[in-house]
Structure 1
């Protein structure tokens, strides 16, 4: 009975009682807890405001320097861009001059009709005549590109995008079908022309082209169109249209005009000279 009575009379442990007594004494001898919490919060806000003020002052001091450096950088970019444009104009003028001299040399060295034929076949002179106009364009939704399977990993990733190898097959198919002169988006192709890819762009002789791609081919219009569409390359183009949504169209034209190639540079081949007879 004495143990039960002791528990009932002393329900709290002596340690709890002692801690409560110390807490009460501390509250009576110092600041209330709520006031101390508010003071701590106020001090924190003051420190934060001080940091923000110092940062703003430093940014204000550095702003003129940053603006000056930015302006100098912009001026330098503008100057270099202008210089690059001037150099590109000079290159175009020199290329046109070289092309003109090459065409003039062909006229005098080939001997009449033979010289003109050499100029046409080499792409050194502008030509016109009947032929076909072939348009090739990406699918409307290049991310989907139709209902077929992806066309491998080489070239472009999108199945509905025209690739460099597609244009290679189109051009080779036109040559094989009897085309006498070919251009893509106004750029004349020669025996030295290269069709390559660079990222999402197709390059013809290192010049980027953008879709839609318009291919002009001078030749026997009706016969050229029929032979190309019946060839393996024409059927390949038709399969791209059916399976991947690539848009194509071909029409026969009465008079197509193709420009001369910018320049024809031969580095390896040499003309064969005939030995004279005494």
Structure 2
């Protein structure tokens, strides 16, 4: 009898017990992975943002928005204040305008009264000259500017340069310290008038203002005043005398050459012509403050 070899019995490894829901694997997968991967990532980013604060771009946008809101608030407040203050400013401005108009009207009335009184005084002086002076009194009236005159003479027009800007180069005005060398100044007109007197003029007027021995040519800012009356360019100078001779003598005089230099260097416009007949008005009033007739002194000495 053959003996049969005995093999040890094969032991099977113990099997892992299966899950009770093994037959429901699809439902298990759905329960375990209920969220999509994109949702999970978004949830993770949101959670991370909650720990570290807002993103930089979002913080910048929020800061810009806050700045715009603040600026809008400031502008709104300023507009509201301006709207409230506007009626007050308008009222004050209108009151100032009304006051200026009233003062201007008052000044015009006073000036008219002064002109009327000057005319009255001038008429009285003219009558006195006619009654007591005769031909001599008439001559005195002409030379003093107390009476209107007419006759041949010279017409000289002086005007600012077209640009009236600072000129270049050197000339008679540079040393005087003028900044606007293209504009006619009171000193220029003083030299013109003095040059005409020296050249033989018997009576002179500027823009209708008769000059006398007491007349003054001054400046008030950019304006030229003749006996405190403002003049505007062009300045028309009328001088009664021997027309052609007066014109030649003036242009060859130092003052005429000065005026020519202003024209050449700074563009000041001048025009001179001999006229057959000029009419000059009388001065508004001629007031003698100190001088007395010589016969009056003699009479007082005799007494």
Compute the displacement of 1:146 (Å): 6.7
Contact 1:196-1:202 at 8 Å conserved across structures: yes
1:53 to 2:76 alignment:
yes
**Hey, what's the Cα distance between the residues in 2 that align with 1:248 and 1:135?**
6
1:209 to 2:224 alignment:
no
1:127 to 2:149 alignment:
yes
Pick which of 217-226 and 160-169 moved more. Answer: 160-169
Pick which of 211-220 and 195-204 moved more. Answer: 195-204
Query: Equivalent residues in 2 for 1:1-278 (5 A)?
Result: 27-29=49-51, 31-33=53-55, 34-110=57-133, 112-145=134-167, 148-149=170-171, 151-154=173-176, 156-272=178-294, 273=296, 274-275=298-299
Pick which of 132-141 and 175-184 moved more. Answer: 132-141
**Hey, what's the Cα distance between the residues in 2 that align with 1:120 and 1:230?**
26
- C-alpha RMSD over aligned residues: 2.8
CA separation of 1:62/1:216 partners in 2, compared to 1, >3 Å: closer, same or farther?
A: closer
SS at match of 1:141: coil
Contact 1:123-1:261 at 8 Å conserved across structures: yes
Contact 1:142-1:158 at 8 Å conserved across structures: yes
Segments of structure 2 that go 5 or more residues without pairing to the other structure are: 1-45
Deviations 1:126-153 (A, max 9, x none): 0001111122223333325475446235
**Hey, what's the Cα distance between the residues in 1 that align with 2:92 and 2:267?**
50
Q: What number of residue pairs does the alignment pair up?
A: 254
**Hey, what's the Cα distance between the residues in 2 that align with 1:41 and 1:157?**
53
Contact 2:166-2:179 at 8 Å conserved across structures: no
Contact 1:156-1:163 at 8 Å conserved across structures: no
**Hey, what's the Cα distance between the residues in 2 that align with 1:43 and 1:146?**
58
**Hey, what's the Cα distance between the residues in 1 that align with 2:104 and 2:89?**
22
Segments of structure 1 that go 5 or more residues without pairing to the other structure are: 1-23
**Hey, what's the Cα distance between the residues in 2 that align with 1:68 and 1:77?**
14
Deviations 1:5-58 (A, max 9, x none): xxxxxxxxxxxxxxxxxxx99844364234444444444443433333333333
Deviations 1:232-259 (A, max 9, x none): 3223333333343332222111110000
Compute the displacement of 1:199 (Å): 2.4
**Hey, what's the Cα distance between the residues in 2 that align with 1:259 and 1:180?**
13
Contact 2:195-2:256 at 8 Å conserved across structures: yes
Pick which of 193-202 and 122-131 moved more. Answer: 193-202
Rg: which structure is higher?
A: 2
Contact 1:156-1:200 at 8 Å conserved across structures: no
TM superposition score normalised by structure 1: 0.78
